[in-house]
Amino acid sequence: MSENKVNIEESLIRENLLAHSDKISAAAIVAGRQPNDVQLMAVSKFHSIEKVRVALEEGHRLFGENRVQEAAQKYLVLKNEFQDLRLHLIGPLQTNKVRQAIILFDVIETIDRPRLAKAIFNEREKSGICPDLYIQVNTGEEPQKAGVLPENLDDLVNLCRDDLKLPLKGLMCIPPANDEPALHFALLATMARRHHLQFLSMGMSSDFESAIKLGATHVRIGTNIFGARES
Ligand SMILES: *Cc1c(COP(=O)(O)O)cnc(C)c1O
């Protein structure tokens, strides 16, 4: 990559971060909420460590990745340099990656089955470490999509919080591509209220303003910050 291209990319990432912070604050205020109640998560999957560094140097600290291996390659180094960097796992987690994941991530947003909750419990018994956890809900009940079905949510909440005493803090969803996302955001917010869960990870590039109106505490934005994915 030419030096010139890198410079253009750097300034674009800066502009995108600023523009989104402004839009998020505005949407929060319109919704009668505090701007600080909503956090911008910069989703850096498939983007280089250099791009993440630009965001860090701009003062941004909250990032999302959807694969454990890729996240480890970038963020083990970065977390040493930036102690207050916070990293969320937003992709499916296999039980054989749990040990690595609980060390690397500050929040795992994709708890979706009892077996995974038990694997995290077992690793916590050994290491004493456990990130905050959110349950991913398959609000659209799509067969191919990760997440617990709404009808099974109560049991999974009870297992995580009451039986295993895991630090369950929120819910996350990815609405179906062709549905009105607001319906799914409203459903997720209702579920979170019912279970007294504080955090709601919902809303992406095209629908984060609607998600904020309905209570999102974390909006996940990738392409609109870092540009088109590199691979
Ligand atoms: C990739 C991803 C995002 C961000 O998507 P973009 O299209 O890059 O903005 C948000 N949430 C999840 C779960 C993702 O995997």
pTM of the model: 0.96
Task: Give the residue whose CA is nearest to atom 11 of ligand 1.
Answer: 220
The answer on pLDDT for 1 being more than 70 is no
Is residue 10 very low, low, confident or very high in pLDDT (cuts 50, 70, 90)? confident
Choosing from 13, 23, 41, 43 the residue with most ligand 1 atoms within 8 A of its CB, the one to mutate for a pocket test is: 43
The answer on pLDDT for 35 being more than 60 is yes
- Residue burial 121-155, b: 16+ Cβ < 10 Å; e: rest: bebbeeeeebbbbbbbbbbbeeeebebbebebbee
Task: Give the residue whose CA is nearest to atom 8 of ligand 1.
Answer: 222
| pLDDT tens string 154-213 | 999 999 999 999 999 999 999 999 999 999 999 999 999 999 999 999 999 999 999 999
Query: Residues 192, 214: contact at Cβ < 8 Å?
Result: no
For residues 216 and 186, what is the distance between their CA atoms, to the nearest angstrom? 10
